[in-house]
Amino acid sequence: MSVTNPQVSTSRQLSAQDSQALQQVWEKIEATSCPRHDNFHMHTVCSDGRLQPEDLMEQATAIGLQNMAITDHHTVNGYEAAQNWLEVAHRQKQNLTLPRLWIGVEINADLAGTEVHLLGYAFNPEHPAIQPYLQGKHAQGDDAQAASVISALHQAGGLAVLAHPARYSRSADELIPAAAHLGIEGVETYYAYRNPEPWKPSPARTSRVKQLSERYGLFDTCGTDTHGLNLLRRL
């Protein structure tokens, strides 16, 4: 779907890059926020998900999501398609309560000698610093270092979050301090590691990550990490 009103489009794109407003949302995140109120980790067919961006937006609206981000790997194509869907929905003035969509991306990076996933939000996708990470593939060399990824997101006006911090070969106790030292803003505290039905954060891991986020003054975020056809689950 194409957007025919450039003024509206520009306004909503800038809204999607409002990092201050996003931080205000994150301040209120709690264990029950996801998956029906807030969801900041979802994938589409533009990377390794199964949902078309338009189908994802229809489902998000039906669920009643208020705040969300599509975080495809190394691309914002899914976000852009979803943004277009929102533009059309707003112009048609449908009797729907539409979610607020922030721009997002998931980037592979090396942190303390371990490959991790960093989530970027509210950045300007046109900024030169972020371009190496929006090419649909992993960055290489120095660009693949977590310090470089976080710096690029910050240069582009965005925020950085360590995804599912208790899912790597090194522990959250090691990785979260390392990420905090590099200036990361948040950690994905509320995450369902064993894909339960219904979705709920994993209690023990959530508790430990929450302790670490508080110790290092980080925001707590949440997301289903959806790769399948249901936004209420991971797979």
| Model pLDDT for residues 103-144, shown as the tens digit of each residue | 999 999 999 999 999 999 999 999 999 999 999 999 999 999
What SS3 state is found at 200?
A: coil
Give the CA dihedral 44, 193, 67, 138, nearest 10 degrees: -40
CA distance 205 to 193: 9
pLDDT at position 9:
63
**DSSP characters for 96-108?**
--PPEEEEEEEEE
List, run by run, the mean pLDDT of 10-residue segments along the chain (235 residues): 43 86 97 98 98 98 97 98 94 85 98 98 98 97 98 98 98 98 98 96 98 98 98 96
pLDDT at position 7:
42
Go through the domains of the chain in sequence order and give each one's CATH number.
Answer: 6-222 (3.20.20.140)
pLDDT at position 92:
86
pLDDT at position 6:
40
